[in-house]
Structure 1
Amino acid sequence: MEIIETPPTTKNPPEQFTGDVWLDPIASPREEGQRMVVAKVRFAPGARTAWHSHARGQTLHVTQGVAWVQSRGQEKVEARAGQTLYCPPDEEHWHGASPDSFMEHLAMLDMADDPAASTTWLEHVTDEEYLA
């Protein structure tokens, strides 16, 4: 067993996010055959991801605040602290904080065989889509 040095908090890039979003890595593959990635992600009110998908799906567990999550072509859903959401492989979706609440979630996914293919980033979520 080993204690893993805590990487620094990073601010997520504006190419993939709207608003202020910070990421704290928790777990990543350390040995051959491992795929698990876990991060704590914090969103300022109104902040959100761009549309994206994950090759092996993604699980989100809301730890604080109010999350808004939407899959392409479906209604937006609201999740609160303690609730968990699952996005199936290759399902285009976005997630973020409601307009009046900070939100924090744990983002969990399995890396694809080609790590660069694990997440496919698409266009930004417009204000109209976000508020619909």
Structure 2
Amino acid sequence: MRRIFLYLSLPVWVVYGACNDGNQNRNIVHKELGLSLVFPTGDLITNDNFTGTAYLYSLVEGDSINGNSVGNVTFEPGARSKWHLHPAGQILLAIDGVGYYQEKGKTKVILRKGVAIKCPPNILHWHGASIDSPFVQIAITGREKGPTQWFDTVSEGEYNSAPTH
């Protein structure tokens, strides 16, 4: 398992060294939220697949050689994705703050710095920040079997359900 984690995280750190542009204006959100800065905050996500405020900094776009896309996502407190699935699965790496991850029909899981989640292919799930803390994650998403499929908004009841510690 450690070998797999190291294998998957190495490209992230290589990309960081190559892509860190030092643009401090893009990093203000991290500072305002009291988060450690690994990657720039990125751009505000303006589509309707998220509730609340979230930002995406794209690190790697999937292509014909490697179908994985890698992105740094920063969620402000209370922000989260809609229910969705990935035909080729997804790996989430918790970088900072406190977040949640939940698969449909299962108990919500708390995500803290250093936690890795492996979401199997075609499993309906959501993820985002806790109600009182921002959250930063690296999302590694397989694209070779098709794009992310988006579903319903996470209800307040689902979001506020008791998590597994």
Q: Give the share of equivalent positions with the same residue, in percent.
A: 34
User: Deviation digits for residues 55-108 of structure 1, max 9, x if unmatched?
Assistant: 100000000011111000000010100110011000000000001101000000
Please say if 1:127 is aligned against 2:159.
Answer: no
The higher relative CO (CA closer than 8 Å, separation ≥ 6) is in 1
Matches within 5 A, 1:13-28: 13-28=46-61
Shift of the alpha carbon at 1:13? 2.9
Shift of the alpha carbon at 1:14? 4.4
Matches within 5 A, 1:98-109: 98-109=130-141
Q: Letter of the aligned partner of 1:13 in structure 2?
A: T
Matches within 5 A, 1:84-103: 84-103=116-135
Extract unaligned runs of 5+ from structure 2. Answer: 1-17, 27-41
Aligned mate of 2:91, from 55, 59, 68: 59
Extract unaligned runs of 5+ from structure 1. Answer: none
SS of structure 1 residue aligned to 2:141: strand
* TM-score of the pair, normalised by structure 1: 0.88
Shift of the alpha carbon at 1:36? 1.5
CA distance in 2, matches of 1:10, 1:121: 20
Could you say which structure has the higher strand fraction? Answer: 1
Q: Stretches of 4+ moved more than 2 A in 1?
A: 3-6
Could you say which structure has the higher helix fraction? Answer: 2
* Cα RMSD (Å): 1.9
